[in-house]
Amino acid sequence: MNPFILVDADACPVKDEIYKVAWRHEVPVKVVSNSPFRVPAHPLIERVIVDGGFDAADDWIAERADSAAIVITADILLADRALKKGAIVLAHNGKPFTANSIGSAIATRAIMADLRAGMDGPGGGPAPFAKADRSRFLQALDEAVVRLKRG
């Protein structure tokens, strides 16, 4: 199987790590966003800019996800769509979204949205991105690529 990586790139803190793994394993990467930003000039890396429509990047990624894809996203609903297409899905901190975990992740997302809607001021937000998250992500992505290459 020839794996490839699809990156939900807006606000993705691990793009450099993705490129390192892609170069090491010679795996193509599509970096998808609503706005342009720099990507390395390399034949394996392709920048895809979608129109500014709501969820346009998510739709583009979900349409192309399949069992050879590794999708990198923090978006739980995109993760669910990609899992249903057979993709491996990783969060930016290296934690995988799985068929077993996605239901509770969606439920938690809904609860948090309700809590935020009832707050008067800004909420706490997610924990800061740590060096351990970056390391965990690198290891998880490398393992996912190796697993897909082995079939």
Q: What is the mean pLDDT of residues 9-36?
A: 95
pLDDT of 123 > 60? The answer is no
In our burial notation (b when 16+ CB lie closer than 10 A, e otherwise), range 99-123 reads: eeebeebeeeeeeeeeeeeeeeeee
pLDDT of 32 > 70? The answer is yes
Q: Mean pLDDT for the chain?
A: 88
Residues of the chain above pLDDT 90, percent: 68
pLDDT of 53 > 90? The answer is no
The residue assigned the tokens 């769509």 is 81
In our burial notation (b when 16+ CB lie closer than 10 A, e otherwise), range 72-97 reads: bbbbbebbbbbbebebbbbbbbbeeb
pLDDT digits (tens, 9 = 90+) for 102-117: 666 666 656 666 666 7
Number of neighbouring beta carbons within 10 Å of residue 13: 13
Enumerate domains of the chain plus CATH numbers: 4-150 (3.40.50)
pLDDT of 80 > 90? The answer is yes
The residue assigned the tokens 């965990």 is 136
Contact 27, 44 (CB under 8 A): yes
pTM of the full structure: 0.85
d(CA 28, CA 77): 24
